[in-house]
Amino acid sequence: MKKLICIFLVLALTLSLTTACSSSAPETSKTPETPVATEKPDDLKWDGYEASKGLSGKISFMHFGDDYERQMYADLIAAYEDLVPGVEVEQVYTPGDYYTKLQTLAASKTLPDIFWLSEGRVKEFADAGLMADLTDVLEKYPAISDGMFDGALDYGKADGIQYCIPKDYTSYVMYINVDMFKEAGIPIPTSDWTMDDYMKLSGELTKVANGRTTQYGTAVNNYRADWINFMGNYDAPWFKDGKSNISDPNAVKGLKVQADLIKNGYAPAPGTTGESEDRLFIIGQIAMYPSGRWVVPSFINECDFEWTAVEFPKGTTRVSPFITANVAINSQSSSKEIAANFLSFQLSQTGLGYTLSSGLSVPLYEELITDKNILAEPAEAFIATSNYIGDKEQVEALGTGKWSEYNSIISAELSLVFEGSQTIEQAAANIDKKANETLFK
């Protein structure tokens, strides 16, 4: 009997182990499920959706900007990952010292798959072989360039090859403290105002009490967009035949407007007040402020007065520099197909709905610039400037690959003018001499 019981127990134990092994077998052999693409949403406006099906892998995306941009691109990435569940996009947000970090990554051959690049760095990175030729990307995703403003793609080219795509841009306008104009009984400038009008209004809106300026009519920035604007609005050939030509009389005339605003006391010299120029506008110490679209979110959130934007005053003509961040794909990326698809989403109407939502920049497309869901208020001045965006001298200077050094020479010499150490004529002569002897030989 004991022997029978033992035999029974052995059989029962064996059966139990066999059953357990059988039930666990499917778990050990199960393969990961392939992510299933979501059904295309009815409101999706992205021509690259079909090409995204079946994509899988991980890419990295590096960009600069303020916290508004960090959040915008986090939202963009989340939306893309929902539509393309097989792809993961690592956001590499780099708010400070961006180009030092980018160049360090380039030197160690660890550049991210996608990265931003200002228009002034394109030639430099192209010559180093760090960016993929995007000609085939534009062929596969024609919607990226369809309807883009004429000349916009030129800011992402080097030696005729499309290495970058501008993601958006900003033109330059004049921000107006409406309350100050109303208090002074002065009407808001219209699109036909001139540089002479600007100088006159700057004087009328400047207030001095007990020898101290309590309100400035305007501000002066020592920034590339400003001096390109002032020179360009006088149709100055400030870069000509591969050489710096800022001594041209029209270039000097444009820059002299900036110098005279400071000399007359209508604007503080840059960096002398303890506050940035845009901060002076926010706290109500300047009536007119020349700047780009990037100040809009802070103005919306911080200005406790009515404000608006109008076109930049006209000299003999109107030109608006093209200030942008380009998107490039790493030439050594092993995930170029995914990177290109993500780029097509970023520049789609749906993608731009995320990245332009805070008002930081302007869409590159004629069809979208009048869409208030894409370009919120203030809009009219930016719509107007889209008719004359770009400056041929800027494009030519960028094409030398020496823009950063050239910009530094100009900024240093203009600083001496704004602090009263030299005249604008002396600065122009010094710029041409230094640039043409060292950079454009």
pLDDT (tens digit per residue) in 249-263:
999 999 999 999 999
Pairwise CA distance, residues 427 & 413, whole Å = 5
- Asked if residue 188 and residue 166 are part of one domain, the reply reads no
Decide if 149 contacts 365 (C-beta within 8 A).
Answer: yes
Query: Looking at per-residue confidence, does 387 or 31 come out higher?
Result: 387
In one letter, which amino acid is 117? L
Q: How many domains in the chain?
A: 2
89 part of a folded domain: yes
CATH number of the domain that 300 lies in?
3.40.190.10
Provide φ and ψ at 63, rounded to 5°: -150, 165
pLDDT at 17 over 60: no
pLDDT of residue 177: 98
- Asked if residue 345 and residue 281 are part of one domain, the reply reads no
Confidence at 38, pLDDT banded by 50, 70, 90: low
- Asked if residue 75 and residue 198 are part of one domain, the reply reads no
SS3 label, residue 347? coil
pLDDT at 30 over 90: no
307 part of a folded domain: yes
pLDDT at 15 over 80: no
| Chain center to CA of 124 | 18
- Asked if residue 142 and residue 244 are part of one domain, the reply reads no
For 222-253, give the DSSP string: -SHHHHHHHHHTTT---EETTEE-TTSHHHHH
- Asked if residue 434 and residue 292 are part of one domain, the reply reads yes
User: How many helices and strands (H and E) does the chain possess?
Assistant: 18, 14
- Provide mean pLDDT across the span 81-88: 97
* Helices 224-232 + 249-263 axis angle, to 10: 120
- Asked if residue 185 and residue 149 are part of one domain, the reply reads no
pLDDT single digits (tens) 388-398:
988 999 999 99
7 part of a folded domain: no
Provide φ and ψ at 23, rounded to 5°: -70, -25
- Asked if residue 120 and residue 249 are part of one domain, the reply reads no
Pairwise CA distance, residues 417 & 258, whole Å = 10
39 part of a folded domain: no
Helical residues (DSSP H) of 30-140, grouped into ranges: 49-52, 67-83, 98-107, 122-127, 135-140
- Provide mean pLDDT across the span 158-170: 94
Q: CA angle, 340 as apex, 339 and 346 as ends, to 5°?
A: 90
pLDDT of residue 5: 40
Considering the chain, what is the average pLDDT of its residues? 90
- Asked if residue 295 and residue 184 are part of one domain, the reply reads yes
Pairwise CA distance, residues 145 & 139, whole Å = 9
- Asked if residue 415 and residue 310 are part of one domain, the reply reads yes
pLDDT at 10 over 60: no
pLDDT at 292 over 50: yes
330 part of a folded domain: yes
What is the span of the domain harbouring residue 237? 173-319+402-438
pLDDT of residue 28: 38
- Provide mean pLDDT across the span 64-83: 93
28 part of a folded domain: no
pLDDT of residue 33: 53
Query: Looking at per-residue confidence, does 149 or 281 come out higher?
Result: 281
370 part of a folded domain: yes
pLDDT at 287 over 70: yes
- Provide mean pLDDT across the span 184-202: 97
- Asked if residue 258 and residue 233 are part of one domain, the reply reads yes
